[in-house]
Structures are given as structure tokens and as C-alpha cells.
Structure 1
Amino acid sequence: MNRLREMFAGIRARDVAFMGGYALYLVFGYMSFESPTVLTSLGQTGAHVESLFLVAVVAARLVVYLVMMAVARRASNRSSSLTAIVVCAGAAATGFVVTRMAFQFAGYVPLEALVPWLVFGGLFFGAGDALINLLWARFCGTFDLRQAYLFVLLSNVASLVVYFLVTLLPSPAMLPVGAVLFFASAWFCKKCLDARAPIAEEYSAPVFKGALSALWRPMLGTAILSFMSGLMLQVSARQDIPLATFQQTALVTQAVVIVALLLPALFVKSRPSLGSVYKVALPLSAAGFLLLPLIWNGVGGLANACAQLGTLVASIILWCMLANAVHDTKLPAALLFSCSLVCTNAARMAGTLLGLFKADSFGQGNLELTAVALVAVYLVAMVSMFLFKDKKLEGSGEGDGKAAMPVAERQGDALADRCASLAQAHGLTPRESEILVHLGQGRTARAVSEKLVVSENTVKYHIKSIYQKLDVHSRDEVIDLIEHSE
């Protein structure tokens, strides 16, 4: 439990309560996107309507993330959190109002006539969801890896408890409860952002490319699992499984997996090895497809639960890795998270569309076609596992790896002034300016990483950017340039 005390050290109890808003957001996601809980207010909507709603949600997410990728390089994180929350809440409110109107007319007009309204509502649902997701991403970027991991897992535990209570409510209450959860989460998010010291975000092309090169494997793995998740959800929607049974199976299986991930983080001293978890997540998701021809709907949607669990585990791990990258590199959270979320949501869209048009082929009596699809997906998962093998970077990126003779560490104002002058003249970012001073003192990339408490690779990315801007090729040239600057 010392890990929890370390995580919340210096944080007021009120701020800890505000962090529970992320759990409320997760519950809203379970209700709206991971199961047809919200749509139960319409009665028996049918798989086709639910699928179209999800397609609209994912499409809106993709648009928002693509827009954020385009603007995040130039946007400043100093933008008002209140403004961002208002825009987010406005988009979601439109989605709730339109969907609620469709529910009101459900008893008077054919369901087919309400589909355009539900799709329209789904677009605003997705936009609001994407925006608040990025706001929580900015908040998580203020944590280091262990803190982010504990925060996300504890939030998932709390969300399962709240979701269980929500499932006990009558169907007509689902949409209003979903609205309350979303707006409460948005308000808590603002409080969390105001309580934490904001990250001085800065964009650097070499650092951004370096971060993507370190994260593309988990992004690929999560995208594959998201595709499988979207497909399996459509297949499951064709099965005769009561919603309550569907929910209970998901709750129990998710609780077991989340607790299994949480306990080692609480009691093991070493830094969590997140990459290795994919070796469990990928076969777990594939197992859902392998079980489907055998059990169909006989175990309360267990096959679907397995597929969703693989995606859940991979998404948690990727989220923590992204948050740690933002904390480490100072890259804009909206940029880094949007790049990842575009990949995973595009894959989920592909799986959903495939399921929408082809899931009927995966009938209980059509095992041959199902088996072909399952084997193909399983092979893709195994190939992905091979891609996740850790590869050690060779070479230090500084000449032939030999440490240059360090000059004396000068602590006076002269060095800082010269570095500041160079930084201003060559357009260095604040983080690059800070690293330039350390280079001027003769420190290696490893020594700088220890001083700044960031990864060595991140420092190397910054150093590469500094070399490009100063038009030099080694640390010795940097030192010489500093010493001869006016």
C-alpha cells in the first residue's frame, strides 16, 4: 500500500475525490459504447440500430482526433480548461437531447424513422466522448508511469462498482443516468486539471518521431484487438443473450482481470513491465473467437467477454505508456494520444463494419466459415506478439559512443547566458534550452536523463533536435559553439 501513499502524496483528499471523475467517465463508456445499455430505453432496438449508432460514434471520434492531430502542434496547453470543458459538454448535451427526443417518439413512429436521429445523436456522443477523453489524457500526462498505471486501474475498479449499481436501475433511467455521469466527469476533470501543475508542452519533430517509434508496436497490438472487439460485439449482438446476462458476464470477467493487474502494482517494488502484458492480452482476445463456434451463446456471452477483455487490457497498457511519454517528453498530450486513438478507433470501425455486414454469416451451423475467420485472426495476433519482442537500441547516437572529455561544470551565469542566447537565436524549445545547458557542462545523454528524471531515449531525441537546429554533429561541437558565442 506504500505505492498508494506515494501516488497521493501532497494531494488533498478533495482532489483525490475529483480523480474519481475518470471512473464516472469509464462507466459512461461502458453504458454507451461497450454494451447497448443506454439504448435499452428504446426497448428492443435490434442489432442493426445499435450497430449504426456505434458506427456514428466511432466516426465522430475519428474526425475529432484527426482535427486535434492537425492543430495540437501549434495549440498551447495554456488554453482554458473551462473553455475545453464547455465545448465538450456542449457536444455531448446535443447528443443526449437528440437521442432523448428519439426515445420520446419511439412509441409513436416506426423504429426505422428514428434511425437518422439516433445516428445524428451518436455523432455528437462520439465528439463529446473524444474531447473529454483527450482532457483526461492531458491530466494523466502529469503522472509518471507507475502513478498513471495505478490511477487507471483504481479508476477501472471503481467504475465496475458504479456500473454494477447502474445495471440495477430500470431501463428508462439509463439515458438520464448516462448524462449525469458524463457531465459530472467533465466537471471533475476540470477540477483535476486546475489542481495539477500543467505540463509545459512543447512540440519537437525529432522527439515526436522518437516517441512514435517507441510506441508503434503497442499501438498496432491495440488496434488489432480493437478490430477483433468491434467484430465480436457485432457477432454477439446476433446471439440470443439477455442484456442482464451480458452485463453480469462482462462485470465478473473484467473485475477478475483488473484486480489481477492491480495487485502486482501495489505490492511489487519494480517498475511495471507493461509491454509483457500484451502476451496475455492477445491470446485472451483471440480465445474469444476460438470459443465462439463451440459455446455460441451458452455461457452468457463469455466469448464476447474474452475478446473485450483483451482490448481492455491492451488499452489500459497503451494509455499508461502514452501518459508516461507525455510526462517524459513534454509533447502535447492531444497530439500523442490522438495519433494512437485514430489507429485504434479506425480498427474498431473496420471491425464494426465487417460485423455489421458479415456477422450473419457466422451462424451456429456454419462452423467452417467461422473457423476460417478465427484462425486468420489468431494468426494475426500471434504475428503481433512477435512484433512486441523488446529490441535494444544499438549505439548512443553520439559519435562512436565514446564519451567526450567533459569540461568543468560551470555553474555561473556566463554559461546560462550563452546558452540562452543560442537558444533564442536558433529557436530552441524550453526543454531543448534546458538540455543545451547540460550539454555545455559536458554531460552525457545518460547523465542528463538522470538530472531531468526522464528516459535516456527522450534526451537523445532532444539532443538530435538541438544538433539539427545548431547545425552541429557532436557534443564537442556544441561545447565549442557555446564557448565562442557572444
Structure 2
Amino acid sequence: MAKKTASLYYGKIIHGRKSALREETQPSNSIMKQTITVPYAGFSLYLFADILAFHSSTALIGSGALSESSAELFAYASIAARVAVFLAISLVASGKLREPLPRRLVPAVATAVACAGLALVVGTGSAGFSAATAFGGVLFGGAQGVMGLIWLTMLPSLSYRVSYLYLLASHATATVLCAVVLLLPPWLLMPALVICMIAGNVCAALLPPVREHTHTARSQIRGITPFLWKGVLAVGVFAFLSGFVTAAANHASDPLDPVGMQFFVLGISAAVIVIMLIPALAFHQPLKLENGYKVALPLSALGFLILPGLVTAIPTPVAGVLATTGYMLTGIILSCTIAEIARAADVPSASLFAGSDTITLTCLFAGMGIGSAFATRLSEAGAGVALIGLGSLYLIAIAASSVLGRQRANRDAESLDQVDFGPFDPKTNPLDGNAAEREPLTLDDIADELGFTDQERQIFLQLIEGRTIPRIAQDLYLSASTVKYHTQKIYRRFDVHSRSELVAAVENKRGAENA
């Protein structure tokens, strides 16, 4: 009875602050309006150029700008350049208090470099493999990679839900633009790509200036890594699957019509975007990484079944498209998670984004290389069975990890229920029944004394109330990773390791103060 009464007491504290919490954690109308106006709309133009020239070079093959062999070389060179650029930025930026990419100078330089790269590709791409095509891919890929980081470093200024909707809206707009451009005469594809790329970079130069942060990413890396490495690793595996299946499918069979294949890619992407929008719009809860797996895993599994020819009714190149959607879906969610962790830790986000992209793109590059090397063996029954077996093991491992994560959260909640709060009298200090004549020390007083931020204070109150990590994330419109990050910091402030120890420490503190 005492436990229930104390829980009700803390529930009243939370209920009294409910409207204030939601006002602080929900995105304001002004922020939501900003995300759909200039210069923020420029991210859609950047994505359009990236889709048309990098993620899906089939459109440029259909336009005659690239041959099949030069398109493959262009893709490899672009990815390799991005990996090198991201690795360098992650190392350099990790020790800085400001974002390392100025939003005035960098877009201008990146535009010039990307245009030079495209000029080399167009001039030599129709001839097949050449050093000029590879160098053009390096220039274009590196420039686009830098611009991608500039856009991503804007996400920490938005809440998790707004950044999630913003990324989906930008991808949806880019998909529509790509579909419209593909209906134009083929010779207009390259001019449209260049125009949209330049316009997107101009919008990036108009973004608000970056501010100085409290910490460097290097100083907080030990606290940040536990909440990101699983997500980065999972997206890396999806990237490997995407590269492997796509390269193997393209080498193992005759490709479909390039432009027709591009429309199919866009159709699948649009379906994934709609699926991701439903929970965010209908239930105000964007997909989290573990829930994103439930959508991404079946698509990847279907790609594995199509690749060795077990589903003969579907053309083999479609396998690569389905595998790529898992990479796209989980990549969007990971970007939102990284942005929120960077905001919670108050560190520059460029090094976090660059580091995660270095890993995932390396996995993609490796998958493409291995898929190309073993494409000729995929017709053998043994290879097909082994491929499906490895894919099945991967799916089981990811599904099991998400289930175990939920079980840990439930056990944490159960441990709180076992705490004895002691006798309760709402007229006195709820944790000290012998202090009727004293002014009770409230949880807000403790939060003030320990110097909690507003977000830490909100999470602290709900932890004491007994709410689980997923429930706190839902109430405060945060990701579970961010709630866990703040919970870890709160535990360190009290020098405890579990929620039950936290409640006991709060009880002891209040008892000592009122003794």
C-alpha cells in the first residue's frame, strides 16, 4: 500500500508538470514551419541530386551520359571518396567545440568541385573505364559527402519527431522530383541534376550559423558510444546486404531497362516512406531502430530469396532494390538518433555523423566488392543455400537483440516495484514520515541541487515515478537511446547503477536533509 501511495504522490508531481513537459519537449510551431521553408527545403534538392547521380546511376545510363562499366566505376569511386572524407572529418572534428564545416564557404567550394567532377564524367563516361571517370567520381562523391554532413548537422536543432518528419518529407520530395525528371527527355537529366545540386548548395549556405558547444565529441565518446554502436552496426549490416545483393544481382543476370528500373526503385522508396510516416502522423511516435528492423528485415529477407532464383517470378535485379530499402529505412532512423544524442550531450554532431557514415559506407563498399566477385557462383545450389542461411541467422540475431532489449526494460521496471518506499503521509515529506513540522525536500529541489538540465529533470522525475524507458521516450517525444543516455548521467550523479538504487539514494538524501 505504501508503494502505491508513494507512486501516486510522484504521479501528482508529474501530472502537475505535464503541460510544461509537453511544451518543452514537443516541437514548437515556428520550428515545424521552418522545416518546410527555405532554406530547409534545399535538402530535398540535395537528395534529388544524390539519388539521381549516386544511389541510382541507372537513370544516367538510360540517358546515355554513362555506360554500364563507367557507371560502376563512378559508383565505386564516389563511395571510396566519401569514406575517405568522412574518416578525415570524424578524426579532425572530434576535438572541436564547433562544427568543422562553415556554412558559407564550404557550399561554394563543394559546388565547384562537384561540377568539375560531373564535367569529367560526362566527357569520358560513355567511353567505359577511364582514369578521368574515376577521378570525376572522386570529386563528385567527396563534394556531395561534405554537403550531406552540412545538412545532417542541422538536425540537432530539431526535436526527434521533427527531424524524423523532416527527413521523410525531404526524401519524399526528392523521390517525386526524380520521378518527374525521368519523364523529361533524356538529355535534360544531367542539366536538371546540376541545377538542383547548385540550388541545394545555395540553400545550405543560407542555413543559420553554427554555435559553440559545451563539450567535444572526443571528451564524451565513452558516454555516447554505448547508445550508438548497436545502431551503427545494424545499419552497417544492412548496407553490406544492400551492396552485396545489388552487385551480385547486376552481375548474375541481364539488367532490366535502366529507366524502368529507376521508376521501380522510386516506387519502393515511396512505399517505405509511407510506411515510416504512418506511426509518426497517426500516433505521434516515429519509428525507433528496433521497430524499424521489423519493417526492414522482411524486405532484406525477400531480396535474399530472389537473388538465388528461389522466387523466379520476380526479376533478379529487384533483389538489390529490396535490400537497399532496409539500408535506407534504418539509415534515416539512425540519423535522427545520432542528432538527438548529439543534442543531449551538447557536442558537435559532424564527427558522429561522419564516423557512423564511415562505417556504414565501408560496409556498403565491401558488400559491392564481394557481391561482384562471387556473382558467377550464385547459380550453384550450395551458394544459394549458404546465402539464405547467413541471412536467416542475421535476421534472428537482430530480432533477438530487440526482444532482449525490451525484456531488460521490463526487468528494470519490476525492480522498482520491489522497492519499499516506507510509510507515507501526503502532509509530510513522503520519504520521511517523522518530519511533519519540516518543509519537505522535493524532487525539484534535489534536481536543482545536482544541476540537472531541463531534460534530465524531466527524465529524473519520471524514473522516480516508475515509468519504463520506452514510456518516458513516448511521453517526452525522445528516442529510447536519448533517455538511456540521460539515465546513465543521472545514475552517475547519484553514484548508483540501477533504478532501485536511485530511489534508495533519493530516499536517503531526503532523510538526511530533513534529519
The bucket for the TM-score relative to the shorter chain is 0.7 to 0.9
Cα–Cα, structure 1 residues 345 and 14, in superposed 2: closer, same or farther, change >3 Å? closer
Residue 216 in structure 1 maps to residue 233 in structure 2: no
Secondary structure of the structure 1 residue equivalent to 2:104: helix
Residue 180 in structure 1 maps to residue 195 in structure 2: yes
1:335 alignment partner AA: S
Name 2:45's counterpart in structure 1.
24
Name 2:401's counterpart in structure 1.
387
Instruction: Report the TM-score when normalising by structure 1.
Output: 0.76
Residue 325 in structure 1 maps to residue 341 in structure 2: yes
Cα–Cα, structure 1 residues 322 and 368, in superposed 2: closer, same or farther, change >3 Å? same
Deviation larger for 31-40 or 240-249: 31-40
Query: What's the CA shift string for 1:314-347, capped at 9, x where partnerless?
Result: 1111111112212222221111111211111010
Name 1:64's counterpart in structure 2.
85
Secondary structure of the structure 1 residue equivalent to 2:30: coil
Cα–Cα, structure 1 residues 201 and 266, in superposed 2: closer, same or farther, change >3 Å? farther
Q: Of the candidates 304, 316, 326, which is equivalent to residue 310 of structure 1?
A: 326
Name 1:155's counterpart in structure 2.
170
**Whole-Å separation in 2 of the counterparts to 1:256 and 1:214:** 29
**Whole-Å separation in 1 of the counterparts to 2:295 and 2:143:** 32
Residue 335 in structure 1 maps to residue 362 in structure 2: no
1:111 alignment partner AA: G
- The alignment-based identity, stated in percent, is 22
Instruction: Report the TM-score when normalising by structure 2.
Output: 0.72
Residue 111 in structure 1 maps to residue 138 in structure 2: no
Q: Mapping of 1:427-442 within 5 angstroms?
A: 438-440=448-450
Q: Of the candidates 461, 464, 485, which is equivalent to residue 458 of structure 1?
A: 485
Secondary structure of the structure 2 residue equivalent to 1:261: helix
Q: Of the candidates 89, 99, 119, which is equivalent to residue 121 of structure 2?
A: 99
2:264 alignment partner AA: T
Cα–Cα, structure 1 residues 328 and 247, in superposed 2: closer, same or farther, change >3 Å? same
Q: Of the candidates 357, 365, 378, which is equivalent to residue 349 of structure 1?
A: 365
Secondary structure of the structure 1 residue equivalent to 2:157: coil
Q: Of the candidates 209, 228, 243, which is equivalent to residue 230 of structure 1?
A: 243
Secondary structure of the structure 2 residue equivalent to 1:10: helix
Contact 1:77-1:332 at 8 Å conserved across structures: yes
Query: What's the CA shift string for 1:397-440, capped at 9, x where partnerless?
Result: xxxx999999979x9xxxxxxxxxxxxxxxxxxxxxxx9x9444
Name 1:88's counterpart in structure 2.
110
Q: Mapping of 1:183-194 within 5 angstroms?
A: 183-194=198-209
Query: What's the CA shift string for 1:128-162, capped at 9, x where partnerless?
Result: 12101110111112111111111111111111110
2:122 alignment partner AA: R
Cα–Cα, structure 1 residues 60 and 82, in superposed 2: closer, same or farther, change >3 Å? same
Query: What's the CA shift string for 1:48-107, capped at 9, x where partnerless?
Result: 43322211111111111111111112334266310222332233223122213224xx4x
1:19 alignment partner AA: Y
Deviation larger for 168-177 or 151-160: 168-177
1:158 alignment partner AA: T
Q: Report the Cα offset of residue 353 of structure 1.
A: 0.7
RMSD over aligned CA atoms reads 3.8
Name 1:248's counterpart in structure 2.
263
Cα–Cα, structure 1 residues 465 and 294, in superposed 2: closer, same or farther, change >3 Å? same
Deviation larger for 213-222 or 377-386: 377-386
Q: Report the Cα offset of residue 254 of structure 1.
A: 1.6
* Corresponding residue pairs, total: 428
**Whole-Å separation in 2 of the counterparts to 1:97 and 1:464:** 56
Cα–Cα, structure 1 residues 360 and 31, in superposed 2: closer, same or farther, change >3 Å? farther
Cα–Cα, structure 1 residues 346 and 442, in superposed 2: closer, same or farther, change >3 Å? closer
2:485 alignment partner AA: T
Question: Structure 2 regions of 5+ residues with no counterpart?
Answer: 1-22, 414-418, 422-430, 433-438, 462-475, 496-501, 510-515
Name 1:431's counterpart in structure 2.
none
Name 1:9's counterpart in structure 2.
29
Q: Report the Cα offset of residue 43 of structure 1.
A: 5.7
**Whole-Å separation in 1 of the counterparts to 2:451 and 2:345:** 21
Q: Of the candidates 73, 94, 97, which is equivalent to residue 52 of structure 1?
A: 73
Q: Of the candidates 21, 43, 56, which is equivalent to residue 35 of structure 1?
A: 56
**Whole-Å separation in 2 of the counterparts to 1:204 and 1:154:** 29
Name 2:283's counterpart in structure 1.
268
Contact 2:289-2:330 at 8 Å conserved across structures: no
Contact 1:229-1:348 at 8 Å conserved across structures: yes
Residue 122 in structure 1 maps to residue 137 in structure 2: yes
**Whole-Å separation in 2 of the counterparts to 1:283 and 1:375:** 15
2:250 alignment partner AA: A
Q: Report the Cα offset of residue 372 of structure 1.
A: 2.2
Contact 2:277-2:286 at 8 Å conserved across structures: no
**Whole-Å separation in 2 of the counterparts to 1:342 and 1:69:** 8
Question: Structure 1 regions of 5+ residues with no counterpart?
Answer: 412-434, 469-473, 480-486
1:95 alignment partner AA: G
**Whole-Å separation in 2 of the counterparts to 1:177 and 1:258:** 24
Q: Of the candidates 295, 298, 303, which is equivalent to residue 280 of structure 1?
A: 295
Secondary structure of the structure 1 residue equivalent to 2:98: coil
Contact 1:448-1:459 at 8 Å conserved across structures: no
Residue 137 in structure 1 maps to residue 162 in structure 2: no
